[in-house]
Structure 1
């Protein structure tokens, strides 16, 4: 059992899924702009729940 532990730990470390790369500065700016546009659309949305307000 003692000899199997290092092998199991190595296998567990090798079985990790690769992480996606973080967005670049340009992509981050585009994501922020898209988020702001969605926020504006949501604020101007007229639905039955907020039409009476």
Structure 2
């Protein structure tokens, strides 16, 4: 139920993190972020990316 809605949310590089947890980007890189952080660029490429709650 909530995991389905979380997985459909997209977060872009530089968006503010609203929920602490693990996030995965388009390249499959996975990181833990804390509420209040800013979504970073892709750790692999350094480019802007889209993050999804993992």
Q: Normalised by the shorter chain, which TM-score bucket?
A: under 0.3
**Structure with greater proportional strand content:** 2
Structure of larger gyration radius: 1
Higher relative contact order (CA 8 A, sep 6+): 2
TM-score scaled by structure 2? 0.22
**Structure with greater proportional helix content:** 1
